[in-house]
Structure 1
Amino acid sequence: MRQFAQPILLAALIAAPLTAAGAQDLTAPFLKVTPRTADEAARIARVTAPTQDFSAAEKFEANPAGAATVRARTDADAFSQPSGNISFERELDFKLGNGLFKKLWVSSPSSTLASDGLGPLYNARSCQRCHLKDGRGHPPEGPGDDAVSMFLRISVPAGAKDEMTRIEAFLTSQGEALIRTRPDPVYGGQMQDFGVAGHPAEYRLDVTWEEIPVQMNGEHASLRKPTWTAQDLGYGPLAPGAMLSPRVAPQMLGLGLLEAIPATDILALADPLDADGDGISGRAQVVWSFEQDRPMLGRFGYKAGAPTVREQSAAAFAGDVGISTPLFPAHWGDCTDGQPACRTAPHGGDDARGTEIDAEGLDLVTFYSRNLGVPARRDTDAPEVLNGKRIFHQARCTACHVPKFVTNRLPDQPEQSFQLIWPFTDLLLHDMGEGLADNRPEGLASGREWKTPPLWGIGLTPQVNGHSYYLHDGRARSLLEAVLWHGGEAQSARDHVIGLTPQDRADLIRYLESL
């Protein structure tokens, strides 16, 4: 099967050749890794091979994060536990990182020197405000419900004379033709809907919904199609051709384990030219690492725009909270030259730290984010769950939502080291059809492509966050609606689900709820 083929040449990652130097840059490990032996590689191939037996749960299936799996709690803290195999000493670092994750930042100048530097424009005052209980955000539910756990990304087409970024220069040197975009000259790369005193918010998020009926075998459903707009613009009109794309805060669990999957295992799944003719391509995102100063495989974000947990965390501090870090040291966050008052506002980086959160603080938040534990599976041997698993495989959902990997051996990260994990993702970009298209390219991702999201923990979303909204903008009100929005490369899987009997369809959803 495609997802278990031998590693392909990196040339096939994009529809143009990569030089040997480029290939080396892309796959070089950023973590301290102990190479696998031939015996280990053979054992890994056996244990990650797809099952053909759906009469009982697979060995170790109940522990989706290996030894890092945590007990499945029945309260809202199910996503907030440290890795199950964390040591007592390292759990202290986890708790310190949690404190910084929850910290409410205040504007400068302030007497609380360790907490000032908010904004001046921002989406939330803390990481926790978006990732409530380390879970999933939601769209506004009606009048009076703000959009604190989501925002709009924004970009404009690049001009012919615009200077290329480093990643664009690298990919151009490899022969890749890019759909180039730039941040809005005034509003930047994302829109902030809050501002500190004296600084108007950039916008107010507004949405209208259109109901679309869907007829299935024996049942019917309704999908809600959103139209997102930026209202009450605080800094003038958007630039011509501005492209907006909504983003709901994703759940946080298992990030360190996703980071620990060998890049070669992910690249082996890519089939950008659909060489095997199965209708499913899968492309690797390639991004510039500001920390490593080289191209790297993108893994995090809805379009895999960040290569590591640390860079994703630093980017969120900058864009969401307006906090400077050693990776992104601009004290004004996402403010642009078109917002001079924001650029010259007081900030919290004037003391010995240099930036509003220093390297030690960023490392603690990164450690916390890497070690949010994945809860144990529930009811893995229940007959309806096993039937749902059979249907999940039969519909070929596993072509993108790849069940199993074995992580790298990481001597400096024992919690993530050499674990059999079940994240249900290939971390690749896939064309999901016009229905889910945001029509906003990002890096190598087109306006129709999205990274396959991991599914572990997804069934606990209502318990943790009190809602059942899914997909990048929360449009799906249930797991079934999320499936029905699939198109493009996933169209055949969607059609398979539509044709199921109501009982089999319910069993498929029951299986997803057990993850």
Structure 2
Amino acid sequence: MRWLVFPVVFVVVGCGAEAPPDETGPSAEPGEELSGGETTVHDTSKNAYSLSARNMTSERRSAFFVGNSFFKENWVIAPSSTEGRDGLGPLFNARSCSSCHLLDGRGSPPDDPAEPLVSVLLRLSIPGTDAQGGPAPEPTYGGQLQPRAIPGVLPEGDAFVAYEEMPGSFPDGETYSLRKPIYTIAAARGDMQPDTRVSPRVAPVMIGLGLLEAVSEEDILRAEDPDDADGDGISGRANHVWDVVRGATALGRFGWKSNQPTLMQQTAGAFHGDIGITTSLFMTEDCTDAQADCKATPTGGAPEASEKILADVAFYSTTLAVPARRDVSDPVVLAGKRHFLDLGCGKCHTPVFHTGTFDGYPELSGQTIRPFTDLLLHDMGEALADDRPDFKADGREWRTAPLWGIGLLRVVNGHENLLHDGRARGFVEAVLWHGGEAEGSREAFRALPTEDRRALVRFLESL
């Protein structure tokens, strides 16, 4: 077994240049608490991320629960008497979707450096592209490290993370410490190529994804400014990726680098890479040519997940609701909102969108939503680069992460480990990791008095 150590890679949610102040002062907008429009649910319990759109009919809510059952249920090894639910692996990261998306929430790295990553996976690639313009997989290990395998198949190995503390202080003297992750891989199938690029990815929160798919392509592209023509320091641009169903390139919306065009493809991709289950979109097992044992195993059918199962899970993922905001009229929250906008964070974390007509999803159509993302790629600087291109996204670019529901993360998942790999222990550390296009906003945050920094955090906790 070979141990490989890789340089750190990380992604944060980006802010931009300073915006002009609102002379009218901070105030709550009508309906501001309804992050998902009429789909919004009013729940602050540990189940806050697991509820269906509030405006669904009872019949469609029944379909939601069917999808939920498939999302939670473990797949088994083929052949099995469990008809339609076998075909796990041969290589896999988890036995079910909910293993990583616990309570439909965010994953987290382990606290113990001796404990392997579970709800954080490692993307792998080498220089170049595949036939569709995406990342070229590592020849032996493929596109992601899969640490688990069925009997008779050699797993690919475990990954671990340790941290180097990086102390610092604000101009007013308050201290902080950032933790820089260092990843190691216990590679079980021999050496990876020396130029392998590795990118850790936490399982993200599942809420509101269908609403993001319901935003029109025109509204997303309207915010593009790849050459920073307006001189505001923000140069967001869209990713254009391969759509398997259409057999053509399409706008990317989902994933840390917007590398998936639709939730159907995102769902099928997760089945394929994370659980080892084939679907009509990805019909062959996820085995490389170097993995003869993987290729020789029996399958659970062709495909292993039926069209109905795939559609049910995609429906569930599409209709998960966003919880309502709290304390929108609280004076401290309103002050934090003002700082958020004055620092330019809303330049990338776009507060408001309006959904168009989403065929098959009347409850998601025509909604005013507050996701706090522009769904565009932004250059986050060299310190945050993974040097791993993904379709049109280069090694320094990441999609702006949605912020809605983030204030309930501790309630749902018992932690506040933020950013793409969970390194930030709360909002302050998350902001301090910002760079590139967000560097000006980060430094403006650092310069705020303690009271104002805390107000901005209170605003984020209200989302």
Matches within 5 A, 1:206-285: 206-218=160-172, 219-231=174-186, 233-285=187-239
Match of 2:300 among 341, 348, 373: 348
Q: CA deviation at 1:144?
A: 6.1
1:476 and 2:424 aligned: yes
Kindly indicate whether residue 308 of structure 2 is the aligned counterpart of residue 336 of structure 1: no
Counterpart AA for 2:298? P
**In structure 2, what is the Cα distance between the partners aligned to 1:53 and 1:458?**
28
Shift of 1:415: 1.4
In 1: Cα distance, 2:135 partner to 2:37 partner: 40
- Where 1:435 maps in the other structure, the secondary structure is helix
Query: Which residue pairs with 1:33 in the alignment?
Result: none
Q: State the distance in 1 between where 2:343 and 2:86 align.
A: 51
Task: Summarize deviations over 1:312-362 as a string: whole Å, max 9, x none.
Answer: 0000000000000111111x2x2111101101201111xxxx311111111
2:205 paired with 1:205: no
Q: Distance in 2 between matches of 1:128 and 1:52?
A: 46
* Cα 1:259–1:181 shift into 2, 3 Å: closer
- 1:138-179 deviation digits (Å, cap 9, x = unpaired): 012105644221110000113xxx8x623x3xxxxxxxxxxx
Structure 1 residue aligned with 2:106: 136
Task: Please list the CA deviations of residues 269-306 of structure 1 after superposition, one character each: whole Å capped at 9, or x if unmatched.
Answer: 11001111111100100001001211110000000000
Whether contact under 8 Å (1:54, 1:386) holds in the other structure is no
1:389 Cα deviation after fit: 0.2
Structure 1 residues 51 and 357, CA, compared in 2 at 3 Å: closer, same or farther?
Answer: farther
Cα deviation for residue 54 of structure 1 reads 4.1
Aligned to 2:34: 63
Percent of residue pairs bearing the same amino acid type: 51
Deviation at 1:113, TM superposition (A): 2.5
Equivalence map 1:87-486=2 (5 Å): 87-142=57-112, 145-158=115-128, 165-166=131-132, 168=133, 181-218=135-172, 219-231=174-186, 233-330=187-284, 332=285, 334-349=286-301, 354-486=302-434
Q: What's the C-alpha RMSD, in Å, of the aligned pairs?
A: 1.4
Alignment of structure 1 residues 14-25 onto 2, 5 Å: none
| Aligned residue in 2 for 1:500 | 448
Q: Which residue of structure 2 lines up, in the alignment, with residue 24 of structure 1?
A: none
* Paired residues, number: 442
- The secondary structure found in structure 2 opposite 1:360 is helix
Q: CA deviation at 1:435?
A: 2.2
SS in structure 2 of the partner of residue 381 of structure 1: coil
Q: Deviations over 1:383-423 (max 9, x none)?
A: 00000000000000001000001000235211110000000
**Partners of 2:39 and 2:54 within 8 A in 1:** yes
Distance 1:102 1:396 in 2: 39
Contact 2:115 2:160 in 1 (8 A): no
Q: In 2 relative to 1, CA 291–52 (structure 1 residues): closer, same or farther, beyond 3 Å? A: farther
**Whole-Å Cα distance in 2 between the matches of residues 113 and 411 of structure 1?**
32
Deviation at 1:228, TM superposition (A): 1.3
> Would the aligned equivalents of 2:152 and 2:293 in 1 still touch at CA under 8 Å?
no
| 1:487 equivalent in structure 2 | 435
> Structure 2, unaligned stretches of length 5 or more?
1-20
Cα offset for 1:198?
1.6
Moved over 3 A (4+): 50-55, 143-146
Kept after mapping to 2: 8 A contact 1:386/1:511: yes
Counterpart secondary structure, 2:386: coil
Equivalent-residue separation in structure 1 for 2:135 and 2:243 (angstroms) = 18
Instruction: Call closer, same or farther: CA 1:151–1:337 in 2, change over 3 Å.
Output: same
Cα deviation code 1:186-220 (max 9, x no counterpart): 10000101111122220111222111122213212
Q: Do 1:380 and 1:514's aligned partners in 2 also have CA atoms closer than 8 Å? A: yes
Q: What corresponds to 2:12 in structure 1?
A: none
Q: Does the residue aligned with 1:221 lie in a helix, a strand or coil?
A: strand
Higher RCO (CA 8 Å, separation ≥ 6 residues): 2
Report the Cα distance in structure 1 between the residues aligned to 2:409 and 2:366, rounded to whole angstroms.
Answer: 28
Paired amino acid for 1:94: F
1:415-437 CA distances to partner (integer Å, 9 max, x unpaired)? 11000000000000001112221
Deviations 1:37-60 (A, max 9, x none): xxxxxxxxxxxxx97644321011
Higher mean Cα deviation, 442-451 or 128-137?
A: 442-451
Equivalent-residue separation in structure 1 for 2:100 and 2:145 (angstroms): 15
Structure 2 CA distance for aligned equivalents of residues 289 and 281 of structure 1: 25
Q: Return 5+ residue gaps in structure 1 as ranges.
A: 1-49, 169-179
Q: Distance in 2 between matches of 1:391 and 1:207?
A: 34
User: For 2:200, what is the secondary structure of its paired residue?
Assistant: strand
Kept in 2, the 8 Å contact 1:72–1:377? The answer is: no
Query: What TM-score do you get using the length of structure 1 for normalisation?
Result: 0.84
Aligned equivalents of 1:388 and 1:143: distance in 2? 35
What SS does the corresponding residue of 1:510 show, helix, strand or coil?
Answer: helix
The amino acid across from 2:292 in the alignment is: P
How far, CA to CA, are the matches of 1:475 and 1:433 in structure 2? 17
